[in-house]
Amino acid sequence: MMDISNVEKTVLDAKECIQRTEDVIMHTYNRYPLVWDKGSGVYLYDIDGKKYLDFVAGIAVHALGYENKKWNEAVKAQIDKLTHISNYYYSVPMMEAAEKVIKSTGMDRVFFTNSGTEAIEGAIKTARKYYYDKHKKADSEIIAMEHSFHGRSLGALSVTGTKKYREAFEPLIGGAVFAEYNNLEDVEKKINDRTAAILLETVQGEGGVYPATKEFIAGVRKLCDEHDIMMILDEIQCGMGRTGSMFAYEKYGLKPDIVTIAKALGCGIPVGAFATTKKAAALVPGDHGTTYGGNPLATAAVNAVFEQFEELNVLEHVKEIGDYLYEKLEELKNRYDCIQEHRGLGLMQGLEFTVPVADIIKKAIEKQLILINAGTSVIRFVPPLVIQKEHVDEMIEKLTASIEEVQYNK
């Protein structure tokens, strides 16, 4: 066993931490040169004590911001009791979390995973099992959307409609067919007697922050009903209150057969889920499993998230602040010719630029504002759901200065 007694416990500075990390971590991310130490409210602090306004929230994860006392206390209390038991047994936190997910989604059954990618894997397997039980053959297809993003595993990559993510890892699992998002006619053309499901993000995230149109998503629901195929909605990023309703599909007056959830479901604890209607719950013992999924620690976090959503009236708050953010981003769009489009819902919005946004994001970091892109030309705004109007104003001020410097002071 390696002796770690003499390993230095405290990182001396950001430069050393970055170098030591790069020496040992696989280089799968182009990281910004920031080393975080702690968070408080909607702000992050680096190891030098500098304070940054966070409009990324761990990529739509930290819905409650940082240092939510009741969430922290719930997780700490569960650590002192029990963190893992395996799925051969029951636990009260899992029971309560499952009930909360079922109530909030309108579904009938839920399976807890460790991530959004795993939730997508489970949703695909569920749809294929439903098809198999119905047709007694294993030749199903999944219709997914172009420019979609569903995860990095081979199964999730196979239904991710962005070629650059897929091509180095082919051959992937078969049976994935891609249609144009918000083009119902194209989706309908792709349906055949092998189609098991239609999979889409209710609001595309990585693809550029594109909400589904009402006509499109209602049309997909109708096609699924007519052909007895599964409608799978990926709400990993747009769910859990981010659009102003607990799940974005509620805004359209419908529900899917299968929904995938993650990110803000645990607000920092790794947990995901897929939930199904009773009809769609085709998996039986032996079909699917996970060692850690639904463990007491993760589900205690889930319970605390739902409780804080209710106590803090998060959904109404998102509607109010989301409208304010929309108004301010519209003003920005109308001010600068380099911004060609603004779209989104609630606290999931995007500005599309005529120029790459990487330099603007770097300038924003210099001004202690954290932003994230969606592709090369879109800045995505997915802050903690507890931000206030003053935080929107602070963000707009710093973003405006960043745009000015990049566009006009080269």
User: pLDDT per position in the chain (410 positions), as tens?
Assistant: 445 444 444 547 999 999 999 999 999 999 999 999 999 999 999 999 999 999 999 999 999 999 999 999 999 999 999 999 999 999 999 999 999 999 999 999 999 999 999 999 999 999 999 999 999 999 999 999 999 999 999 999 999 999 999 999 999 999 999 999 999 999 999 999 999 999 999 999 999 999 999 999 999 999 999 999 999 999 999 999 999 999 999 999 999 999 999 999 999 999 999 999 999 999 999 999 999 999 999 999 999 999 999 999 999 999 999 999 999 999 999 999 999 999 999 999 999 999 999 999 999 999 999 999 999 999 999 999 999 999 999 999 999 999 999 976 55
Give residue 93's identity as a one-letter amino acid code: P
- The whole-number pLDDT of residue 408 equals 62
Task: Tell me the pLDDT tens digit for each residue of 227-266.
Answer: 999 999 999 999 999 999 999 999 999 999 999 999 999 9
The Cα 116–Cα 113 span in angstroms is 8
Whether 350 and 203 have beta carbons less than 8 Å apart is answered as no
**Within the chain, which residue ranges are assigned CATH 3.90.1150.10?**
14-64+313-408
- The whole-number pLDDT of residue 1 equals 47
Helix (H, G, I), strand (E, B) or coil at 381: strand
Helix (H, G, I), strand (E, B) or coil at 332: helix
**Within the chain, which residue ranges are assigned CATH 3.40.640.10?**
70-311
- The whole-number pLDDT of residue 114 equals 98
- The whole-number pLDDT of residue 257 equals 98
Query: Which of 202, 191, 72 lies closest to 148, judged by CA?
Result: 202
Sign, CA dihedral 180-184-186-190, equals positive
- The whole-number pLDDT of residue 10 equals 53
The Cα 35–Cα 40 span in angstroms is 15
CATH superfamily of 14-64+313-408: Aspartate Aminotransferase, domain 1 (3.90.1150.10)
Task: Tell me the pLDDT tens digit for each residue of 375-399.
Answer: 999 999 999 999 999 999 999 999 9
Q: Give me the architecture of the 70-311 domain, per CATH.
A: 3-Layer(aba) Sandwich (3.40)
- The whole-number pLDDT of residue 409 equals 59
Query: Which of 288, 289, 285, 283 lies closest to 133, judged by CA?
Result: 283
Query: Which of 103, 60, 69 lies closest to 263, judged by CA?
Result: 60
How large is the C-alpha radius of gyration of the chain?
22
